Amino acid sequence: MADTGAAPLPPTSPPYGALARAEWFVRLTARVLEQHLFAHHFRGGGAAPVERALDAYRNEDGGYGHALEPDLRGPVSQPLHTALALRVMDAVGNCGGRRAEDVCRYLTSVSTADGALPAVHPSRRGYPAAPFVPVVDDPPGELLATGPVVGLLHRNAVWHAWLFRATDFCWQSVESLEKPHPYEIEAAVAFLDHAPDRARAEAAASRLGRVVREQRLAALDPDDLDACPVAPGYAPGEHHFPHDYARTPRSLARAWFTDEEMARSLDFLAAEQREDGGWPLRRRQWAPGPSLEARPMVTIEALRTLVAYGRAVD
């Protein structure tokens, strides 16, 4: 067959399903890591290619850098990069062994006296980063950085001396949240969903669910977003929805929302897929490159959430 020189037409509309359209977007825009992650989750791809791609971001100190989290540029290890690396390891079922030991060694080296992780370590100074990610000389530990890491380590039965102090910090932080912002709630859920003390976790989650509803931290009706004001400092339209907190039906946060509220949230998530096949960033954007690099992971997570709730994607 003669080569006409014409580019293949993208599957950006029916009869192509959401998965085929997303795959086109990922193949067109994603880094090697997200391409292999997409293949692993949705096309039967193995874990080994994902792990090899992740190794490119790994540093000798056991942490991860090199803009793995696109809003933080530069080669140095950072807690947020390392948290994302743990999520990838967990996603492919290999969040243990030597990799986990190295990660815990790094986390120990950057944690505060109470075992907490700063969102940004001062070693990042001098490299490009989003303006809303400030660098300070002596950063405090934050639930935002610590909760998801501790939750994943517990989920994978990883034990390390640092983890005891970090777990205590998470309990204290979660149980003292009074006027949290939505990302703190996400971090709290990531911890509570896998904390070993299940009765305590359920009680803490129940309290947080009341906080979320009373303080209108979840947009319960996508057709009436004015009823859920955006948190101070967030981008216009940076709302949080039930599916942002309860990413799977097994999450403790699922009990915060009625079946009708959850269905509306998932309908909204499915409808957010753009013409190019990817899902949008709802957070603040500061440069074209990081925004482009972030969208494939957002797209993969959107698809995983829809699949977790039994929604058809193809």
- Give per-residue pLDDT as tens, 81-96: 999 999 999 999 999 8
Which pLDDT value is given to residue 12?
A: 61
Q: Which positions ≥6 away from 181 have C-beta within 8 Å?
A: 217, 231
Q: Give the pLDDT mean for 293-307.
A: 98
- Give per-residue pLDDT as tens, 198-248: 999 999 999 999 999 999 999 999 999 988 888 888 888 899 999 999 999
Which pLDDT value is given to residue 8?
A: 54
Q: Give the pLDDT mean for 18-43.
A: 97
**Least confident span in 163-167, 177-181, 282-286, 302-306:** 282-286
**Cα distance between residue 297 and residue 285, in whole Å:** 15
Q: Give the pLDDT mean for 136-147.
A: 93
Confidence of residue 257 (pLDDT cuts 50, 70, 90): very high
298 within 8 A of 282, measured Cβ to Cβ: no
**Cα distance between residue 298 and residue 228, in whole Å:** 22
Which pLDDT value is given to residue 13?
A: 61
**Cα distance between residue 13 and residue 277, in whole Å:** 9
Residue 130 reports pLDDT greater than 90: no
* Residues making up the chain, counted from first to last: 314
Residue 306 reports pLDDT greater than 70: yes
Which pLDDT value is given to residue 2?
A: 47
**Cα distance between residue 247 and residue 308, in whole Å:** 8
**Cα distance between residue 283 and residue 173, in whole Å:** 24
CA torsion angle for 95, 193, 191, 182 (degrees, to 10)? 120
- Give per-residue pLDDT as tens, 143-161: 999 999 999 999 999 999 9
* SS3 assignment for the chain: CCCCCCCCCCCCCCCCCHHHHHHHHHHHHCCHHHHHHHHHHHCCCCCHHHHHHHHCCECCCCCECCCCCCCECCCCCCHHHHHHHHHHHHHCCCCCHHHHHHHHHHHHHHCCCCCCCCCCCHHHCCCCECCCCCCCCCCCCCHHHHHHHHHHHHHCCCCCHHHHHHHHHHHHHHHCCCCCCHHHHHHHHHHHCCCCCHHHHHHHHHHHHHHHHHCCCCCCCCCCHHHCCCCCCCCCCCCCCHHHHCCCCCCHHHHHCCHHHHHHHHHHHHHCCCCCCCCCCCCCCCCHHHHHHHHHHHHHHHHHHHHHCCCCCC
Q: Give the pLDDT mean for 243-260.
A: 98
Q: Please give the model's pTM, rounded to 2 decimal places.
A: 0.93
Percentage of the chain with pLDDT > 70? 95
Residue with tokens 């983890």: 163
Confidence of residue 170 (pLDDT cuts 50, 70, 90): very high
Which pLDDT value is given to residue 1?
A: 45
Per-residue b/e over 135-163, b at no fewer than 16 CB within 10 Å? eeeebebbbbbbbbbbbbbbebebeeebb
**Least confident span in 7-21, 80-94, 120-134:** 7-21
Q: How far is CA 9 from CA 13, 18, 39, 162, 276, in A?
A: 11, 16, 21, 52, 12
Q: Give the pLDDT mean for 154-174.
A: 96
On average, the pLDDT of the chain sits at 93
Q: Give the pLDDT mean for 124-130.
A: 88
Residue 124 reports pLDDT greater than 90: no
Angle between helices 97-110 and 143-155 (to 10 degrees): 160
